[in-house]
Every structure is written in structure tokens, then in C-alpha cells.
Amino acid sequence: MRMNFSTVLLGSTVALAAVSGAQAADAIVAAEPEPMDYVRVCDAFGIGYFYIPGTETCLKINGYARFQVSFGPDEVNKRQGWGAQGTSDWDAFSRAYIAFSAKSDTELGTLTGFFASEFNADNDSDVGDSLINLDEAYIQLGGFKAGFFYSWWDKGLNGETDSLANITEFNSIAYLYEGGAFQAGVAINELEGATTKANGIGVQGIASATVGGVSIDLLGGYDTEVEEGAIRALVSAELGPGVFQIAGVWASDPNVYFAASEWTVATSYRYNATEKLAITPGLQYWGDYGFVSDADQWRGGLAVDYKITSGLASRVSVQYTSRDIGADTEDFVSGFVRLQRDF
């Protein structure tokens, strides 16, 4: 009887230990870690892109921080839309700019989504002196582009002397054909808000060619609201240690694309003195300034760019303007000093 009780007790103990061990083993089993998808560099679209984890879309983030002091007659009042009410002949402001570009390959070509914004801050106390501005937002598939972006009229000469356009940014639909050294494009621009009239559109057309170190742009724009247009030619050529540029514009009358004068000619030469230093003199003349017969304006100036270190650059611009409209003449000096950190 004693042996039977001992046997039963021993068997029960072993069985209980086995069950307890099984439960303990189940309790400490850990799940396998999820595989991690590290950020990978994407070199298919240039420097700075990386793959968005889990996708085949490449993303690039870049921008700059800028501090600038501008000078000239009533410089503060030139901040149109900032609410400036002062009459100071100099003004300091700061800007932050950030851009996001997403690209991926498709059977119809490269698909791009682009967004950029500016954050501006002035020292005046008026409402609107610090504002956020949508700079660009568009979708592009191959040569087709739609959204809010800078038009071909925004391209200018090196330096800060020239003024070759009026309004350069629109909600637009555009198509650009690229055939190696030759390009041709057409764009439709919404003009609502750009002028006082309603329901108008603008039409642009461009043809560009590059041969060796010489490129030529022929650009035209027609404003349906005022039924006037403008044409522009711009030539850039690598010459010696720099780039020589010359441009001319003619307008039938003031329009959304050019409204300063009936015609103008501008030129500049960017002299790359060293890897860090560039000096750009420029000159421009406006004939029939303000579309007034025998009125004119000319401007000459100099821009100096210096790369302080990697990612940090400075620019100093000094411009002299002389304006003659009938009996009214005006001569003044303007410009700015800029410090900019790119990333």
C-alpha cells in the first residue's frame, strides 16, 4: 500500500512538472523581428535623391536660408504684398526656402511631383510683413506639366542688372519636347488675377537650340485679355573664363509678359575669376520706356559672388539707374548684400 502511494505521488509530480514546463516554454517564445527597410540612395535622377521606404519613388529635399540687406530709394515700400508702410532707403529681411521633389519611372516616362514654399520675415510691424508663399506646386509626366510654376519668361541673364519680363508665374498647362540639342514647347497660362479683366488666358511658345557652348532661346507670349504680345530672344555663349549673354525684347503694348517698355536690350558677362569668385557686369537699355515716345531708361551694374565655404555663399549687387521721361529725370543707386546657406 505504501509503495502504491509513493508510485502515484511520483507519477503525479512528473506529470505536473511536464505540464508546467510546457506552459513555461510557451510563455517565453518571442516573435521574429520585422525586417527593417533602410533608406537607400537613389542615383537615377541625380544627386540628393533617396528611395521612400517601401516604394520605388525617389525623394529629394533641398532649400536654403537667406539673409539680405537691400538699399535704394524707398526700399521698404518695394516689398509689395508685405504691407510695408515705411520709407526707409534700406531694408533687411530673411527667407527660408524648402523644396520637395518626388520622381519615379513609369511606362509613360518620368513622373514628377514638386512642391516648394518660401517663408519670409521682415522687421516692419505691419500686418503681412512675415508671410508664407507657395513658390511652386506641379505634376510632370514626361514632357507634360500642369500646376503652379515659373514660366519660360522667368529665365534671365547672369547678374542682377536685367529685367526681361513682367509676371512670370502662373497656373499653367505646358508641354516641352526635348530632342537632344533642340527643344520646343507651348504653354497655356491662366491670367485670372494677373490683370483686371476676367476669363483671359495667355499663350506661350518657345524654341531652343544648343550647339557647342552656345544656346539660343526664342520665346513669344500672347495676352488674350489685352490682345497684345511680346517676343524675346536670348543668347548664351561660353567665352573665355566665363559666360557672355545678350537678350532683346519687343512688345506690341503693355501685356502680362512684358510691360516696361516697347523694346529693350540687355547684356552681361559672368567672369569666373576663381573657383570661389565670380564677377558679373551688366547693362540694359529700355526704349520708349513706359510706352511713352522718346522716354528711355538705362541701367548698369555689377554683381560679385563669393563662395565662403561649402554650402555658404555671398552676393553683393550694386546698380545705377538713369530714367528720362520728358521733363522728368531720375538717377539712383540700388542693390543688396546677401548671405545664403544652401542645403
Please list, in sequence order, all residues whose beta carbon lies within 8 angstroms of the beta carbon of residue 2, skipping any fewer than 6 positions away. none
Q: Is a pLDDT exceeding 90 seen at residue 308?
A: yes
> How many domains does the chain divide into?
1
Cell of 230: 511680346
Cα distances from 159 to residues 60, 112, 271, 301, in angstroms, run 28, 30, 11, 9
pLDDT beyond 90 at 45: yes
Query: Is the pLDDT at 176 greater than 70, yes or no?
Result: yes
Q: Which residue has the cell 520709407?
A: 87
The DSSP bridge partners found for residue 298 are 285, 322
pLDDT at 85: 52
Is 152:170 a contact under the CB 8 Å cutoff? no
CB-CB contact of 314 with 291 (8 Å): no
Indicate if the alpha-carbon torsion angle 190, 191, 197, 200 is positive or negative: negative
Residue 38's Cβ-side half-sphere holds a number of Cα atoms within 13 Å equal to 2
**Distance (Å) of CA 118 to CA 64, 136, 171, 289, 293:** 10, 10, 17, 32, 39
Range of weakest confidence among 22-36, 96-110, 233-247, 269-283: 22-36
* Nearest alpha carbon to residue 202 among 153, 131, 262: 153
Give the three cell numbers for residue 114: 514638386
pLDDT at 209 over 50: yes
Give the chain's mean pLDDT: 87
In the 8-state DSSP scheme, what is residue 56? S
Instruction: Express each pLDDT in 104-157 by its tens digit.
Output: 999 999 999 999 999 988 765 555 567 888 999 999 999 999 999 999 999 999
Measured between alpha carbons, how far is residue 93 from residues 103, 142, 303 in Å? 33, 38, 19
Question: Is the pLDDT confidence value at 3 over 50?
Answer: no
Residue 118 lies in a domain: yes
Residue 100 lies in a domain: yes
How does pLDDT run across 5-19, given as a tens digit for each residue?
Answer: 445 444 554 444 454
Rg of the Cα trace of the chain? 31
- 200 or 320, which is more confident: 320
Give the range among 66-80, 184-198, 200-214, 248-262 with minimum mean pLDDT: 66-80
Distance CA 167, CA 186 (A): 17
Query: Domain for residue 300, yes or no?
Result: no
Eight-class DSSP state of 3: H
Mean pLDDT value across residues 300-324: 97
> Per the domain annotation, does 96 fall within a domain?
yes
Residues of the domain holding 49: 36-136
Report if residue 116 sits inside a domain.
Answer: yes
% pLDDT > 90, the chain: 72
Q: Does a structural domain hold residue 302?
A: no
Look at residue 197 in the predicted model and tell me its pLDDT: 66
Q: Which residues of 267-289 are buried (b: 16+ CB within 10 A; e: fewer)?
A: bbbbbeeeeeebbbbbbbbbbbb
Give the number of other CB atoms < 10 A from CB of residue 204: 21
pTM for this prediction? 0.82
Question: What is the model's pLDDT at position 24?
Answer: 46
Confidence of residue 93 (pLDDT cuts 50, 70, 90): confident
Q: Which residues pair with residue 265 across a beta bridge?
A: 248, 285
H/E stretch holding 267 reads: strand 261-272
Q: Which of 46-50, 130-134, 227-231 has the lowest mean pLDDT?
A: 130-134
Domain assignment of residue 121, yes or no = yes
Task: Return the pLDDT at 8.
Answer: 42
Average pLDDT over residues 150-175: 96
Confidence band, pLDDT 50/70/90 cuts, at residue 34: low
Bridge partners of 195, per DSSP, are 192
Positive or negative: CA dihedral 79, 84, 85, 87:
negative
- The closest alpha carbon to 250, from 293, 287, 207, belongs to 287
- Determine, yes or no, domain membership for 52: yes
**How far is the first Cα of the chain from the last one, in angstroms, to the nearest whole number?**
90
Asked if residue 227 has pLDDT above 90, the reply is yes
